[in-house]
Chains A and B, each alone.
Chain A
Amino acid sequence: MSFIENLPFLSVVVFLFAAVVCSVLKPRAARAFTAAVEALVVVFSALTLFYTYTVGEPFRYNMGHFDAPWSNQLRAGVLDALAALAFSSVLLLSHIGGIRYAKIDIEQKKQNSYCTLLNLIGAALMALSYTNDLFTGYVFLEILTLSSCGILVIRRQGRTTLAAARYMVINLLGSGLFLLGVTLFYGTTGHLLMEYIKVGVENLDATGEYSIPLTVTIGLVSAGLAIKSGLFPFHTWMPDTYGTATPTSSAILSGIVSKGYIFLLIKIMYRVVGTGTAAMTAACHILYVFGMIGIVMGSFWAIKSKYLNRMIAYSSAAQIGYIFVGIGLGGDAGFRAAIFQVLAHAFTKPLLFIAGARLSEASGDSQAFSALQGSAHRSRAAGAAFAIGAMSMVGIPTLAGFSTKLYFAIAAVEHGTLVDLATLAVLAVSTLLNALYFIRTVIRIYTPSPAPEPLPTFEPSPDKHDPGLAAAVGFAAGILFLGIFPGTVSSLILTGLSMFG
């Protein structure tokens, strides 16, 4: 057994270890230590990805001295490692990108608690990426929910408490439905490891036994995870949550936390239920419909909003809709589009939040569009970063958003039915709406202020230790990579999906 096969396990444990250590460190040390651990896990995930891709098959890792059905197990294939790599790099970049604001927004004595929560989020995302056990998935899902509430409420300003309460209620509803689903899976199949549940589910599906419990179970799990990730009618927490948290938290919550739930859902679809099961297909169709509505409504509200943060947040609701449309289209092409969108959105949205925070700082800390006018001239780097993110969201070629939309179009034309025509139409309308509000924002921030500079001039980064620019460059590099080499990523995703089977 190669040493690299320990890395998935180490990624989780290192984060947990760091979480405990950070709770007793001084703020400065805690920040540095957390960043170092996140960077270490990025390396671990990259090595795991390389290893699984070269070996060509997934590996399993028993958590203890017992074999497969008796104990917890981790499993790493190409897709798991790819997700882990994306999650850990976005976590690192969001953390260092928002350090400047975290220092201001968070009380001194709570700085180390913030690092603790970031590490817990890292551990939970790594565990969700690699777990081969449904109940482990649930446990770390709880850690993810709680710690994301923590990073939201740590900024004691504005409406964060209200936003956190709303976020908590909707998330716990999702967790509850998911937990019911997991217990029902255990009740009907007697197992918690994914492969074993799948054998049981296939048996039941073939014989037609317990068809009602099975259908309900699949519905509960899908609904629970969809609610947690903020699919259309359950997106109402997004604007307050993303709009009021400190930029690092907004970036993490929108970029990777909701994606963790979606990745678990995709994993369950492939590895627990099997995409061919009738109930799963029905669930996918429902998700598809809500995804379509979400795309249009999210863009609609984004156009209506008067504040930058809220606009970016509503655009998240639309982007989550895309992912579920991909899942609903089904087949490898549909799931490839969905996973590509997960990656593209994970890199783009945090960039927008962090660049947006800098722009609003350059406009007297106001998020209103009227104040933001000309802010790109006051903070050039942030303006450029925001423009890149916005262009990617609209779908300009060579940026990630374009490849995503391309893959969605490919997935849509594959079947050639009326549904696919509807998908294409919604895709076109949504691109238009995206362009409407993102291009408008870019024009607004590049239009010079009319008044003779009523706002204080912004000195570019007086804080020497502010790595915000480096983070923005990292995000932009990710977006460009996804846009210029979509073929590489696509082949990784397809290999990973075939390993799921």
Chain B
Amino acid sequence: MTINPTKPTGAVKTMKIRDNIKKWLAYDYDLDAAPVMPDPVEPDVEAPDISFWRSLRRRGAHRALYYVAAVICSIILASTLILTVSGMPRYGEDAEFMDTVTYEYLAHGMEYTGAVNIVSGIILEYRAFDTLGESFVLFCAVTCVLVLLRIDDGKDDVSLPCHDLTGDVILSRTMRALIPFIFIFGIYVLLNGHLSPGGGFSGGAVLGAGIILLSSAYGEKTSGKFVTERTFRIVTTSALLFYCVGKSYTFYTGANGLHSFIGNGTPGNILSAGLILPLNVAVGLVVACTMYGIYRMFKERRF
């Protein structure tokens, strides 16, 4: 005779259900539950998604409502913006008040900043504080990516899955021919920022893309000759500190009406336009390092 487990009575059943509901609620709201990221060790097995139950509850009517509302909102926003743009001032209208700043930049920009490329003059002299902020946006972004993706203690020691092209014949042969030109072009754009279209942001982007290409074609051993973590830190830190200190000097002398020892030189010379050339180099280095740093973090999660 087999031993039958006691048949659950109604009260026990209710208690079980209540327990389950409690557990379920606790799980739903548990603040210390596992992070909602796919388990990196076995990508096929999904980590328990805490919001799953909640989303299940809302599936159905809620979901349909959500899509309809989203479409309606987008249509309203888009039509409002189109209406707005059609009501905007036309090009060249209202010249007296509206275009004062533009005309001043065009008329005296070269004389006052020493930069033939007015855009460089504007972003690194007239509105240098904004550009200082922009460089720190990049710095902030790379810090956040480091915080999010970096692994050092081997806790979840797995890199994100990505298509590895190292050693690919076509890529490496093409790169062997192209890399010198990419770097030379990047350096040219960087150094001529005050003379011709270009400057720190664009030149830095070219350089950063070059390093990333090098790294993906030949692996990190080759690119590691250019950028290790140490060089990354040194270059970013010194470039940003130079920007901070150099521009602070200009701001301080400018606001206090002091004479600045930095002259504008002759517009058109390579060594002219005051701080614009070194600042372009600093910004370019920051941009290149940021791009490469973010690439490394996403690929390997470490330097």
Contact = CB atoms under 8 A, between A and B. Distances in A.
Given A107-B153, A213-B88, A158 B35 contact: yes
Given A72-B127, A139-B130, A16 B244 contact: yes
Contact of A143 (B136, B256, B257): B136
A71 B127 contact: yes
A5 B146 CA distance: 37
Contact of A213 (B87, B128, B256): B87
Contact of A190 (B101, B132, B136, B139): B101
B250 A65 contact: yes
A495 interface: no
Nearest to B87: A212
A117 B36 contact: no
B100 A190 contact: yes
B88 A6 contact: no
A69 interface: yes
A248 to B, nearest CB: 14
B76 to A, nearest CB: 12
A404 B281 CA distance: 51
Contacts of A66: 112, 125-126, 254
B51 A143 contact: no
A172 to B, nearest CB: 13
A158 B31 CA distance: 5
Contacts of B222: none
A65 B133 contact: no
A374 B174 CA distance: 70
A367 to B, nearest CB: 6
B133 A139 contact: yes
Contacts of A199: 97
A229 B197 CA distance: 39
B20 interface: no
Contact of B126 (A71, A157, A159): A71
B97 A200 contact: yes
A210 B87 contact: yes
Given A69-B101, A190-B98, A213-B88, A159 B140 contact: no
A216 B87 CA distance: 11
Interface string A184-201: 100111110000000110
B50 interface: yes
Given A64-B254, A72-B129, A139-B134, A306 B29 contact: yes
Given A110-B150, A187-B88, A20 B144 contact: no
A19 B139 contact: yes
A133 B127 CA distance: 10
B147 interface: yes
A244 B85 CA distance: 42
A475 interface: no
A139 B129 CA distance: 10
Chain B interface residue count: which class? 35 or more
A267 B89 CA distance: 26
Nearest to A142: B137
A262 to B, nearest CB: 20
Interface stretch (A84-92, A145-153, A412-420, A424-432): A145-153
Please report whether the interface of chain A is mostly helix, strand, loop or mixed according to DSSP: helix
A24 interface: yes
Contacts of A384: none
B150 A210 contact: no
A13 B100 contact: no
A63 interface: yes
Contacts of B260: 65
B32 interface: yes
Q: Which of B51, B143, B256 has the most CB of A within 10 A?
A: B143
A117 B32 contact: no
Contacts, number: 206
Contact of B89 (A108, A153, A210, A211): A210
A189 B140 CA distance: 32
B129 A136 contact: yes
Interface string A360-400: 00000101000000000000000000000000000000000
A1 interface: yes
A63 B140 contact: no
Interface string A3-37: 00110010001001101110110000000000000
Contacts of B32: 157-158, 365
A64 B144 contact: no
Contacts of A24: 233, 237
A216 B31 contact: no
B33 A159 contact: yes
A464 interface: no
Interface string B152-179: 1100000000000000000000000000
A190 B144 contact: no
A143 B142 CA distance: 12
Nearest to B108: A70
Given A6-B252, A19-B139, A72 B244 contact: no
A286 B126 CA distance: 38
Contact of A216 (B80, B130, B254): B80
A61 B129 CA distance: 12
A65 B130 contact: no
26 contacts: A13-B248, A16-B132, A16-B136, A19-B136, A21-B241, A24-B233, A62-B254, A63-B129, A63-B255, A66-B254, A71-B126, A72-B128, A109-B150, A109-B152, A110-B147, A113-B147, A117-B143, A139-B134, A140-B133, A150-B140, A158-B35, A161-B37, A210-B87, A213-B88, A216-B80, A216-B83
Would you list the 9 A-B pairs with minimal beta carbon distance, nearest first? A190-B98, A139-B133, A72-B129, A65-B254, A150-B144, A63-B129, A212-B87, A216-B84, A64-B254
Interface of A: 1, 5-6, 9, 13, 16-17, 19-21, 23-24, 61-66, 69-72, 107-110, 113-114, 116-117, 120, 123, 127, 133, 135-136, 139-140, 142-143, 146-147, 149-150, 153-154, 156-162, 180, 184, 187-191, 199-200, 203, 210-213, 216-217, 243-244, 306-307, 309-310, 365, 367
